[in-house]
Amino acid sequence: MAQQTNIKILSENRSAGHNYHLLDRYEAGMVLMGTEVKAAKSGKVQLKEAYAEVIDGQAWLVNAHISEYSHGNIMNHPPVRKRKLLLHKSEIEKLRAETREKGLTLIPTKLYLKAGRIKVEIAVGKGKKFHDKRESERAKEMQAEAKAALARRNKQ
């Protein structure tokens, strides 16, 4: 997704991949106030503690922190508030079913600008246990070591 030229990543939730097994991913639009758009475009977004939920047939992004816009006036937005996500009804119903029945969570992984619109990537995730985190860390280390050894070998 990031290889397209018209996408600019505004914020990434790197801890999501560490704390969850990420399954399906969905692209959603967001309902934002004017100062939120300007603050997000300047990269003042934090997704680390954020999650999404489905309430009464609507998807919401909760705990996402978009800092106040520096040039905003008294009409500036509150930094942390529930923001409505724009998804198709069938996608919302699918997400609701997965989170209710299977015990999965909706985690925002990226906030990006696509064709002039701010989008958020939502992933369905299942929490990792402590030993799963260790195992994935070990696999990353082994992959990095193999890559370094290959680079050393090619250099000689």
> Parallel, antiparallel, or unpaired for β 83-86 and 58-62?
antiparallel
The vertex-8 CA angle with 6 and 14, nearest 5°, equals 140
**Token pair 């209710």: residue:** 100
Asked whether 68 and 149 are in contact (CB, 8 A), the reply is no
Asked whether 30 and 119 are in contact (CB, 8 A), the reply is yes
State how far the Cα of 136 lies from the Cα of 86, in Å rounded to an integer: 33
Q: Which residues contact 88 (CB under 8 A, 6 or more apart)?
A: none
State how far the Cα of 118 lies from the Cα of 116, in Å rounded to an integer: 7
pLDDT at 109: 92
**Token pair 């397209």: residue:** 4
State how far the Cα of 83 lies from the Cα of 38, in Å rounded to an integer: 16
Per-residue pLDDT in tens (0 to 9) along the chain, 156 residues: 445 568 888 888 888 887 888 888 999 999 887 787 878 888 888 888 888 999 898 999 998 888 877 776 667 776 788 888 999 999 999 988 888 877 788 999 999 988 888 899 999 988 877 777 788 788 888 888 888 888 888 887
pLDDT at 152: 85
Q: What is the CATH code for 7-128?
A: 2.40.280.10
